[in-house]
A and B are shown apart, each in its own frame.
Chain A
């Protein structure tokens, strides 16, 4: 019984305390930065606050611009999430993902920037599409101009 209560309490607390990305309503939800309808899972991104509020984006550069603008104070941000261009159902940490800027892919914001899981994947995609490898701080610097 005591264990049961403990587990329940733990489950409830953990349930509240673990901010996580959420499924995006493709074709209906607007990007929190540019207001375009989010339509393509390959370029989506999310910002999750410590309180569990989620802002959704249509393009990694919109996440970067939104974050760089400080609309949500950095101290309140729990997660920055981008989605893998190759397997769009897997969420990646925006800060450690690898980015590729290529003119062969038409992205929502027109910058041709896609997120990839790791350096190995980035290499193989770059072999196919060409382009230039970027990292999160460079995206933030780009975002400051938007």
Chain B
């Protein structure tokens, strides 16, 4: 009765090495829209596989697809395709084409889930797609520097894509977005990538939260974008002369809330970024907590915690127009006579020494010298060189546990 109402239920197509249907390519040739293809364990070496109809492809027992270091492995061109439980490996480097283990081109509502990708050039490359879900995949690159390595998950000109609980490492950028809108990047772990853990270029109205970015050359770069929401992420272990936990460049109207910056050379680097709201973030054990460049305008920093940093905030100009209000600074030595929880005298987080280092990096040699301490104290009493406007008028006395 049900079968009559819903039409005939087609049996899944089974792919097994040595059987009548020995390749995924052969299975796709006989598949109709709505079919399920079950791929059983084995190693499959096929020319690039084009998925041009709406099917569900399920791996049973982790079947392996090997590109032989020569070509792409799977390309999804139809709407409503699911790709689940496959192992894809050995795509091979190309200097003239952007080869990927899984390419999704012009498709809607695909699901690419629980796959394992090893030694891919690009891992998952989604171009011109809408409403896809990329979840639970593990993408392991070679960690090789320069052109031998491309991005693990690459979104180009996408809308409404969800990137959820993936583990990506050893690629150029772990997750990369270009000309993409309304993407949600959540709960991923992105580590040991040779450029960025996550990288936005010209991608507006996106949201990334609860991700763990560790030991990347730099954690995250958000560039030439607006209305980006950044919540509850962890940035750690980015060390080097050009390394940041988070780099914001030409970003407008964005929110940075509840993130943890720990053990980075620079926690947060801000340039050409206007109307940023930064609240409830923690900057802990960084060389520089925040580097705020002069052309950043109308940014506000409220209720953030700064502890154990060599420099809490530095800037390259006296004319910085950022507002600091109600932050916790472990260097604050003021008092709270009216017992309202806030210090009664303002705190100036920019040390004179920080400014000196900004202009002459070699001055770092003088760190912790008596002379520098003297200068810092003198400057704090009578600010001449440090930006006067850059001060916290209500520094928190205690960080709430």
Contact = CB atoms under 8 A, between A and B. Distances in A.
Interface stretch (A13-21, A34-42, A71-79): A34-42
Contact of B96 (A39, A88, A129): A129
A9 to B, nearest CB: 30
Interface string A66-93: 0000000000000000000000100000
Contacts of B17: none
A110 B201 contact: yes
B338 interface: no
Interface in B179-195: 179, 194-195
A135 B96 CA distance: 21
**Most A CB atoms within 10 A — which of B146, B156, B218, B221?**
B146
B147 A27 contact: no
B18 interface: no
B217 interface: yes
Interface string B228-252: 0000000000001111000101000
Interface stretch (A47-55, A101-109, A136-144): A101-109
A10 B178 CA distance: 51
Contact of A35 (B95, B98, B150, B269): B269
Nearest to A104: B97
A129 B94 CA distance: 13
B129 to A, nearest CB: 16
Contacts of B243: 37
Nearest to B249: A35
Contact of B240 (A28, A40, A110): A28
A131 interface: no
Contacts of A104: 96-98
Interface residues of A, number: 22
B140 interface: no
Interface string A89-125: 0000000000000001110011000000000000001
Contacts of B262: none
A12 interface: no
B223 interface: yes
A110 B179 contact: yes
A42 B149 CA distance: 13
Nearest to A31: B242
Contacts of A129: 96
A128 B249 contact: no
A106 B156 contact: yes
B84 interface: no
**Most B CB atoms within 10 A — which of A34, A42, A106?**
A106
B103 interface: no
A65 B88 CA distance: 40
B271 interface: yes
A38 to B, nearest CB: 8
Contacts of A88: 147
B96 A36 contact: no
Nearest to B154: A106
B194 A27 contact: yes
B223 A27 contact: no
Given A36-B195, A37-B195, A26 B145 contact: yes
Given A37-B195, A40-B146, A30 B242 contact: yes
Given A29-B242, A34-B249, A105-B96, A42 B217 contact: no
Interface in B94-110: 95-98
The 9 closest A-B pairs by CB, nearest first: A30-B242, A27-B145, A110-B178, A39-B195, A110-B201, A40-B147, A37-B195, A26-B146, A106-B98
Given A27-B146, A35-B242, A106-B156, 19 more contacts: A26-B146, A27-B145, A27-B195, A29-B242, A30-B241, A34-B249, A35-B221, A35-B247, A36-B247, A37-B243, A39-B146, A39-B194, A39-B195, A40-B172, A42-B95, A104-B97, A106-B150, A106-B154, A129-B96
Interface of A: 26-30, 34-37, 39-42, 88, 104-106, 109-110, 125, 128-129
Interface of B: 95-98, 145-147, 150, 154, 156, 172, 178-179, 194-196, 201-202, 217-218, 221, 223, 240-243, 247, 249, 269, 271
6 contacts: A28-B240, A34-B223, A36-B223, A39-B146, A88-B147, A106-B154
